[in-house]
Chains A and B, each alone.
Chain A
Amino acid sequence: MAVALILLLVAIGSVLFHLYSPWWWTPIATNWSYIDQTINITFWITGFVFTAVVAFMAYCVFRFHHREGRQADYNPENKKLEWWLSIGTGIGVAAMLAPGLVVWHQFVTVPADATEIEVMGQQWQWSFRLPGKDGRLGTSDVGNISPDNPMGLNRSDPHGQDDVVIENGDLHLPTGKPVKVLLRSVDVLHDFYVPEFRAKMDMVPGMVTYFWIRPIRTGTFDVLCAELCGAAHYQMRAKVIIEEESDYHAWLDQQKTFAELSGPKAVVRATYQSGGK
């Protein structure tokens, strides 16, 4: 029976493709392996259901296709069977939902010791800001944006003076330390997307959104924009470099603070010295 065979091959082919496909998720670089595990659970359950339904259908086509003299059963309903199937489905759904919600709870619960950093999106580039010696980011407003203040920092906020501002460069992060990534946009929606992080979140003008990660390995990763942001959406790129803490501080020492970048107009001049007094 050609139709039954093809249906069966669709099911088997899909499973084999899944097992042998060269396209699989990128090696993870953060603590979110729980997300990968939840995806795996979901693949097992849904894969089983898909194969079972299609195989059952193939069997029906094979066994009950029209032949001369064949008569179908008359069988309007079977309450017991319908209830058992519903309950079984409910259990399967709960087995996916429960771990999903547990991991989501972790996702939205930022550790108290996470360092806040900021990523700002604008058409079509990324800017980054790291807190200075005081460990706090200064306030900002889209109204403050000017050629020598591209991130719109508030000049009268003392917390902002020592913030490290990286415009159009790459972001460095130390491995092993939790980071709360604050996300901001000055024009349209963007989305700070690093596939190896698993976590991502849209950036919305007028709001500050966030996610948190703890990098677990060093490496250089591509940053893409995952929310359509206009003509050059596909070209909005940067890199994140995750490195050992000593390398990170060596890099940080060479970066300019907001006060330094602001030049003579700055009211307060502060420099950032990592681990300094």
Chain B
Amino acid sequence: MVDVPYDGITGIPPAEVPEVELYHPKSWWTQYVFSQDAKVIAIQYSLTASAIGLVALVLSWLMRLQLGFPGTFSFIDANQYLQFITMHGMIMVIYLLTALFLGGFGNYLIPLMVGARDMVFPYVNMLSYWVYLLAVLVLASTFFVPGGPTGAGWTLYPPQAILSGTPGQEWGIVLMLSSLILFIIGFTMGGLNYVVTVLQARTRGMTLMRLPLTVWGIFTATVMALLAFPALFVGSVMLLLDRLLGTSFFMPSLVEMGQLSKYGGGSPLLFQHLFWFFGHPEVYIVALPAFGIVSDLISTHARKNIFGYRMMVWAIVAIGALSFVVWAHHMYVSGMYPYFGFFFATTTLIIAIPTAIKVYNWVLTLWRGNIHLTIPMLFALGFIVTFVNGGLTGLFLGNVVVDVPLSDTMFVVAHFHMVMGVAPIMVVLGAIYHWYPKVTGRMLNNVLGQFHFWVTFLGAYLIFFPMHYLGLLGVPRRYFELGEAAFIPPSAHSLNQFITVVALTVGFAQMVFLFNLAWSLFEGEPSGGNPWRATTLEWQTPETPPGHGNWGKELPVVYRWAYDYSVPGAAEDFIPQNQPPTTGAIQGAAP
């Protein structure tokens, strides 16, 4: 829909769009490959992110094999181990989670949920995906270049990242930084689209305070990403210059392999500040879409309005804003000015309050609900358990002096996996079970889904909950082998073996899930247009899967908020957002 005329007075898109105004693909290539339809782009993003995510999953098996059974696998050496952890972390955080939540769910759900025909800049949206794909290919190519991928840790801290004592110093780090730069360029094109679409292309009646929380989460996360990624962009460019041209943005005068290097005058801490100025908001860039989506899953499957909608919206906005003033809590032991600790510990712990409000409102939504224990609901419950667990251990690490003994130990690894690995993945999986029927017109298999959920949830908890205690004991992270250390008892090695076995089991369950995705595409039970009896607009499309332009001839008009479930006196236990009020009938509150 390139030149859709807008209503000049209200700024609201016209309800009816003449046939010629929509962009129409003219060939198979422009319909399925170089498509400008946000739904196709969403699927392209999701498949690409999942593919590279699978690589990261396999890398995690390899590192768990090494940690559980050191010395057993001759094909894993110390350099490769570092390469595995680095690529695993970077792929999971950026190329999987960020791309999947924003590029995948954002593209699919924003236009549908706000009642638009497409993103406002479809061509730029298409470019966003292709640049992202290029970034993924550049990243994947590092496995095949001389020296292999970088082993600098996903934080890429200089000076180590670009010096010869680190694997992948020749090509790996150069391509990693190039790939990040490409990713940010691609993301920016998509991100601008999501923001403008939410602000400008909402249908009649869809006020901001009637938006489903999914859209609020994705929207706020995108605004944050547009503000945070430039810091990583700048850091990556400077580090690339230090590596390729021998500049010294981050490099003080130092000794490399016994020789005084040509570097001098730069600051390693500057990179850390830039990295975490991006890196901490990044945690919430992943978390906020998950918060939003899980709110809608809980509300729909508990047949009850989300509790405290307005507070939920403000909590999302407050978390987004606060997350820009907490970054240095990743640097308490970095050697930065020690008095920063007071400020950053305080801001960090304040974030716990809006976050806690969200948790209370999720569980209060369950209170006196009509809880259908569907697979999406099970994943939502799994999310709450793992998120509360991981969020609470964040209070240890955010409280500056408590972080001192725990930083750089397995406690940190356990914490961030629980809070930004397992918890958001629970939401991703629940969301896939929830929206798969809309995307494909078929339900996912329930028995396989039950197996998938229980193994994934309980397994992931068994992996990461005990891991905290290894960190409490003092076991450091990023260690190829623990070696001889008096404070590490043999039982710690047994625990490592246990974690490895569980990790491989959870990995296997994901293969079952992939099978379910493929099998149900052909054999799944037909779902109809609104199998969960949900209120939001994406379930009210005339066709399932939604056709090009989403809404047929006329855009929906919104009369109510997204959470009119179990309204007393209503004929059914849900009232779609586009259902007009009928005279005399009792209607739900519509802020």
Residues of A within 8 A of B (CB): 3, 6-7, 10, 14, 17, 21-26, 32, 34-35, 38-39, 42, 45-46, 49-50, 53-54, 56-57, 60-61, 64-66, 70-78, 81-82, 85-86, 89-90, 93, 96-97, 100-101, 103-105, 107-108, 122-124, 142-143, 145, 183, 185-189, 191, 193, 195-196, 198-207, 209, 220-222, 224-235, 237
Q: Decide yes or no whether B408 CB sits under 8 A from chain A.
A: yes
A-B contact pairs, 24 of them (CB 8 A): A21-B469, A22-B489, A23-B495, A32-B405, A35-B404, A38-B402, A46-B393, A61-B366, A66-B303, A72-B368, A74-B305, A76-B589, A108-B341, A123-B165, A142-B253, A142-B260, A183-B335, A201-B333, A202-B334, A202-B335, A206-B266, A207-B335, A228-B153, A231-B166
- Interface status of B389 (Cβ within 8 A of chain A): yes
CB of B565, distance to nearest CB on chain A (Å):
6
Q: Report the bound CA distance from A89 to B358 in whole Å.
A: 12
A100 near B400 (CB under 8 angstroms)?
yes
Contact A17 B160 (CB under 8 A): no
Chain A, residue nearest B163 (CB): A188
- The reply to whether B465 and A226 form a contact with Cβ atoms under 8 Å apart is no
- A143:B359 contact, CB within 8 angstroms: no
Chain B residues contacting A90 (CB-CB under 8 Å) are 353
Residues of chain A within 8 A of B153, CB atoms compared? 228
Q: If A49-B392, A61-B373 touch, does A228 touch B152 (CB 8 Å cutoff)? A: yes
Question: Quick check: B381 and A206 within 8 Å, CB to CB?
Answer: no
Q: Which residues of B contact A145 (CB under 8 A)?
A: 255, 260
- Known pairs A3-B381, A57-B385, A235-B483; A73 contacts B369 (CB<8 A): yes
Q: Which of B247-293 contact A (CB under 8 A)?
A: 252-257, 260, 266-269
- If A100-B399, A143-B260 touch, does A77 touch B308 (CB 8 Å cutoff)? yes
**Residues A206 and B165 in contact in the complex (CB < 8 Å), given A183-B335, A193-B476, A222-B487:** no
Other A-B pairs, 8, CB within 8 Å; known A46-B395, A61-B381, A201-B333: A7-B381, A21-B469, A34-B401, A57-B366, A77-B307, A85-B357, A205-B159, A228-B82
Known contacts A21-B469, A198-B404, A205-B254; A82 and B346 CB within 8 A of each other: no
Cα distance, A81 to B367, chains bound together (Å): 13
B347-389 toward A: CB 8 Å interface, digit per residue (1/0)?
A: 0011011001101110110111111110000100100110011
Contact stretch, chosen from B138-146, B222-230, B435-443, B566-574: B566-574
CA distance A77 to B365 in the complex (A): 10
Residues in chain B near residue A230, CB distance under 8 A: 160, 163, 165-166
Whether A53 lies near B345 (C-beta < 8 A) is no
C-alpha spacing A177/B405, complex, angstroms? 21
Q: Which residues from A are CB-within-8-Å of B469?
A: 17, 21, 23-24
A222 near B373 (CB under 8 angstroms)?
no
Check: B478 CB closer than 8 A to any chain A CB: yes
Given A142-B255, A187-B165, A230-B166, A53:B308 Cβ within 8 A: no
Complex CA–CA separation, A42 to B402 (angstroms): 9
Interface contact A74-B567, CB-CB below 8 Å: yes
Q: How far is the CA of A25 from the CA of B475 in the complex (A)?
A: 10
Q: Is the CB of B366 within 8 A of A60?
A: yes
Q: How far, in angstroms, from A64 to B78 measured CA to CA in the complex?
A: 52
Residues of B bordering A, CB below 8 Å: 78-79, 82, 151-153, 157, 159-160, 163, 165-167, 252-257, 260, 266-269, 302-305, 307-311, 333-335, 338-339, 341-342, 345-346, 349-350, 352-353, 356-357, 359-361, 363-364, 366-373, 378, 381, 384-385, 388-389, 392-393, 395-396, 399-402, 404-405, 407-409, 458, 461, 465-466, 469-470, 472-474, 476, 478-487, 489, 491-492, 495, 563, 565-568, 573, 588-589
Closest CB pairs A-B (n = 7): A206-B252, A195-B474, A230-B165, A209-B335, A188-B160, A46-B392, A60-B366
Known contacts A49-B388, A202-B335, A230-B165; A24/B472 CB under 8 A: yes
A44 CB, nearest partner CB in chain B, Å: 11
| Residues of chain A contacted by B159 (CB below 8 angstroms) | 187-189, 205
Closest beta carbon of chain A to B358's beta carbon, Å = 11
- Which chain B residue shows the least CB distance to A69? B370
Q: Quote the shortest CB–CB distance from B152 to chain A (angstroms).
A: 7
Given A224-B485, A233-B479, A234-B78, are A76 and B474 neighbors across the interface (CB < 8 Å)? no
Distance A199 CA – B491 CA, assembled complex (angstroms): 25
Q: CA of A205 to CA of B158 in the docked complex: distance in angstroms?
A: 10
Give A207's nearest chain B residue, CB to CB.
B335
Across the interface, do B151 and A231 meet the contact criterion of CB distance under 8 Å? yes
Contact of B345 among A100, A142, A235 (CB under 8 A): A100
Q: A71: which of B260, B370, B487 is its contact (CB, 8 Å)?
A: B370
Which residue in chain B gives the minimum CB-CB distance to A230? B165
Find chain A residues with CB under 8 A from B373 CB. 3, 61, 65-66
8 Å CB contact of A226 from B165, B407, B461, B483: B407
Closest A residue to B454 using CB positions: A6
Of the candidates A38, A53, A93, the one whose C-beta lies within 8 Å of that of B349 is A93
For residue B501, give the distance in angstroms from its CB to the closest CB of chain A. Answer: 17
Residue of B393, B408, B568 with highest tally of chain A CB at under 10 A: B408
Taken together as a complex, chains A and B put the C-alpha atoms of A142 and B262 apart, in Å, by: 12
Query: Contact: A82 with B308, CB < 8 Å?
Result: yes
Q: Which residues of B contact A85 (CB under 8 A)?
A: 356-357, 360
Contact of A231 among B79, B405, B408 (CB under 8 A): B79
Instruction: Find chain A residues with CB under 8 A from B253 CB.
Output: 142-143, 205-206
Contact of A78 with B483 in the complex, beta carbons under 8 Å:
no
CB <8 Å contact, A107 and B480: no
- B408 lies within 8 A of A193 (CB): yes
**Are A60 and B369 within 8 A (Cβ)?**
yes
Query: In the assembled complex, how far is the CB of residue B157 from the closest CB belonging to chain A, in whole angstroms?
Result: 6
Min CB gap B150→A, angstroms:
11
Contact B370 A204 (CB under 8 A): no
Assess whether A66 is in contact with B371, with CB atoms less than 8 Å apart: yes
Residues in A whose Cβ lies below 8 Å from that of B489: 22-23
**Considering only CB atoms, which chain A residue lies closest to B354 in the complex?**
A86
Kindly list chain B residues whose C-beta atoms are within 8 Å of the C-beta of A226.
407-409, 476
Distance, CA A252 to CA B43, complexed state (A): 68
A75 adjacent to B305 (CB under 8 Å): yes
> In this complex, what residue of A is CB-closest to B264?
A206
For residue B472, which residues in chain A have a CB less than 8 angstroms away from its CB? 23-25
Which chain B residues border A86 with CB–CB below 8 Å? 353, 356-357
Which interface residue of B305, B364, B405, B483 has the most chain A CB atoms within 10 A? B405
